[in-house]
Amino acid sequence: MNNFSTTCELSQTFFFDAAHTLDRSIETAASRRIHGHTYNAEVFLTGQPDPKTGMVIDLGLVRREVALLRELLDHHLLDEVEGLGLPTLENLCQFIFNKLQPTLPALTSVRVWRTSIGDGCRLSKTPG
């Protein structure tokens, strides 16, 4: 018998296509024009499996909540998404976390990336 405790980390990936503008100091002209990306995202949930169900959380619930969130972002102009703020990768991670955390309290991390240009961001919940 092991003398250590374990936790499981589950994840669910999804994608959305969206357009945005961004006022920044480099790549200014291209960023200010409306342009779009395919964004990939992954949410991570951490915990100990329930002894009765064997699950940290039912992944069906996670998929349902992710689908509802995806409707807010997919094929939208991110500049107009209420509560997002500037459409940066950092703000997208925070937005996704804030939207999902009330119904998915085991949520510990959100990652958003754009494969086509090779950048990404991961936001992790910190203790305290």
Q: Which of 92, 90, 67, 64 is nearest to 78 (CA)?
A: 92
Report the pLDDT value the prediction gives residue 127, as an integer from 0 to 100: 74
Give the DSSP letter of residue 126.
Answer: -
Please name each of the domains of the chain with its CATH number. 8-124 (3.30.479.10)
CA distance 84 to 22: 13
Which tens digit of pLDDT belongs to each residue from 61-93? 999 999 999 999 999 999 999 999 999 999 999
Q: Where are the beta strands (DSSP E) in the chain?
A: 8-20, 35-47, 107-114, 119-124
Which tens digit of pLDDT belongs to each residue from 96-122? 999 999 999 999 999 999 999 999 999
Q: What's the pTM value of the predicted model, to 2 decimals? A: 0.91
Report the pLDDT value the prediction gives residue 29, as an integer from 0 to 100: 64
Report the pLDDT value the prediction gives residue 22, as an integer from 0 to 100: 84
